Amino acid sequence: MADNTDFELYGFWRTSATYRVRVALNLKGLTAREHDINLDKGEQLSADFLAINPLGAIPALIESGQPPMTESLAILEFIDETHPAPPLLPADPRGRARVRSIAQMLAADTHPLIVPRVRKYLTEVGGFDQAAVKAWMTHWFGTGLAAVERRLSSEAATGAFCHGDAVTIADICLGSITVLARVNKLALPPLPTIDRIMARCEAMEAFAKADPMQQAGAPKA
Amino acid sequence: MADNTDFELYGFWRTSATYRVRVALNLKGLTAREHDINLDKGEQLSADFLAINPLGAIPALIESGQPPMTESLAILEFIDETHPAPPLLPADPRGRARVRSIAQMLAADTHPLIVPRVRKYLTEVGGFDQAAVKAWMTHWFGTGLAAVERRLSSEAATGAFCHGDAVTIADICLGSITVLARVNKLALPPLPTIDRIMARCEAMEAFAKADPMQQAGAPKA
């Protein structure tokens, strides 16, 4: 099996960005051997991992003999360009712009605000206690998801999924935030359109298999 | 002149994301009539602007009769797909992945941490004073730029610009952070490779004309 694996994926069971890469690989029928880099233990900065990815960043996707690729959205575009079926972006430039815009609202405007290094700064430098950190996470997830809900519920291009009736990187990014909100038990505003789309996504094996709680490093239920 | 303008661009003199769109339009020889949405006065949430972009988000790029496009990186990809010369991404998928990864390190991992709504939360809810906000901005700009410097100074694909010898969206995102650091007078670590690349970019009219201090809304020197 090892020799038939398409990629090595360095990630962590819980992280939103690793989830995105997992879903995209699953949708394309690609395989990756996943290596757990425990962010809670700081393993992303260990000498062993820095020898693999000098940036100390996960997710890192490696194809044999090639330098690591980083940043989940860049990896998703690479996977889509090199393995075009099924497509993860619509064919028309305006549709692509809408999908990428929704993806950025989640992966750029929302997710980077709650990653471990930011929470560490807020507690160690900013004087936030655990309740204040949870309020911070709840605020930014709620703000980001409510803005996406407003788009999805009002824009004609929304279909069974975020854009029409096929899965795109917008759905992948949406799932990456909603599953992380669930892992962190965050109280969110009502999100009926997002809930509808996510129920559809999570019924697909590609999404279900990528769920944080299904990964090797996840805590036992 | 008005009737020959390609786009309407809603932005603000100072913002990093508006700068990115300006540079891309300039590089492609496209024109936009720019409308100043004053973030300091909350104009992005005014009824007038919400009638134009219900998301209340800048930059918003509008082509006559079409819905607004948002999120700077989605807009840059749209501009590049619909106006291919000169290209803002390399031709090979691995090169494109590297460029998009560097762009995301700046536009996703760095910039969203210091936008007005985050600074507002830190002061109004988090108890940060102005010195603490400045330390926050300095920390995240320094962290993000130092990580990019480490890549650019060590990876063989770096050339006169971030990737080889042609301008890409990585250079545009790099410029968007360095000009904002300058506007905010942030003390940064030594960044010799970034300084070299940025000197080259800023010698180009497309970058120089996009500089925040050159815009109509900028404070007088």
Q: What is the pLDDT of residue A104?
A: 97
Radius of gyration (C-alpha) of chain B in whole angstroms = 17
B63: nearest CA partner in chain A? A94
* A195 Cβ neighbours under 8 A, 6+ residues apart: none
How do A7-11 and A60-62 pair as beta strands?
A: antiparallel
pLDDT at A36: 93
**Record: contact A93-B101, CB cut-off 8 A:** no
Decide: pTM greater than 0.90: yes
Q: Does the distance separating the beta carbons of A71 and B100 come in below 8 Å?
A: yes
The C-alpha atoms of residue B169 and residue A136 are separated, in whole angstroms, by 31
Average pLDDT, rounded, for chain B? 94
What percentage of chain A's residues is helix, strand, coil (to nearest 5)? 55, 10, 35
CB A132 within 8 A of CB A199: no
| Partner-chain residue, chosen from B81, B104, B143, that has the shortest CB–CB distance to A71 | B104
Determine the pLDDT at residue B221: 62
In angstroms, rounded to a whole number, what is the distance separating the alpha carbons of residues B179 and B198? 10
Domains and CATH numbers, chain A: 2-85 (3.40.30.10), 93-208 (1.20.1050.10)
Asked if the Cβ–Cβ distance from A105 to B71 is below 8 Å, we say: yes
- Write out the DSSP string of B2-61: GGG-SEEEEE-TT-HHHHHHHHHHHHHT--EEEEE--GGGTGGGSHHHHHH-TT--S-EE
CA neighbor of B9 nearest in space, from B61, B85, B87: B61
Cβ–Cβ of B105/A155 closer than 8 Å? no
Cβ neighbour number for residue B125 with a 10 Å cutoff: 13
Residue ranges in chain A whose pLDDT is less than 50 = 1-2
Which chain B residue has the Cα nearest residue A63? B94
Res. B3 pLDDT band, cuts 50 70 90: low
Q: Based on DSSP, count helices (H) and strands (E) in chain A, helices before strands.
A: 9, 4
Nearest to A97 among B75, B99, B111 (CB): B75
- The two three-digit tokens of residue B64, written as one number: 């006559």
- Higher pLDDT: B57 or A190? It is A190
Predicted confidence (pLDDT) per residue in B62-102, tens digit? 998 899 999 999 999 999 999 999 999 999 999 999 999 99
Q: How many CB pairs under 8 A join A and B?
A: 123
CB contact under 8 A, B69 and A112: no
Nearest to A71 among B69, B101, B122 (CB): B101
Q: How many residues does this entry show for chain B? A: 221
The residue to which tokens 């000009």 are assigned: B179
Per-residue pLDDT tens over the stretch B96-127: 999 999 999 999 999 999 999 999 999 999 99
* Nearest residue in chain A measured CA to CA from B99: A74
Select from A29, A16, A6 the least CA-distant residue to A205.
A29
Q: How, if at all, do strands B60-62 and B69-70 pair?
A: antiparallel
The confidence score (pLDDT) of residue B194 equals: 98
How far is it, in rounded angstroms, from Cα A53 to Cα A203? 34
Q: How far apart are CA A83 and CA A101, in angstroms?
A: 22
Q: In the prediction, which pLDDT does B40 show?
A: 87
User: B154, A93: Cβ pair inside 8 Å?
Assistant: no
pLDDT in tens, B163-197: 999 999 999 999 999 999 999 999 999 999 999 99
**Of the partner residues A55, A77, A155, the one whose CB lies closest to the CB of residue B96:** A77
Residue of A nearest to B170 (CA): A74
The pLDDT of residue B219 is 83
Per residue, what are the HEC states of A65-106? CCCCEECHHHHHHHHHHHCCCCCCCCCCHHHHHHHHHHHHHH
- Select the residue from A109, A128, A163 to test the B interface by mutation, using most B Cβ atoms within 10 A: A109
Specify the pLDDT at position A1.
Answer: 42
The dihedrals phi and psi of A8, each to the nearest 5 degrees, come to -105, 130
Of B28 and B1, the structure prediction assigns the larger pLDDT to B28
Residue A75 structure tokens: 């990896």
Q: How far is A221 from chain B (nearest CA, A)?
A: 31
Are B108 and A107 inside 8 Å of each other by CB?
Answer: yes
pLDDT at A55: 85
> Whose structure tokens read 């918003």?
B60
Q: What per-residue confidence (pLDDT) applies to B94?
A: 97
ipTM of the complex model? 0.96
Contact (CB<8Å) B151/A55: yes
B149-182 CB burial, b ≥16 within 10 A, e <16? bebbeeeebbeebbbeeebbbbbbbbbbbbbbbe
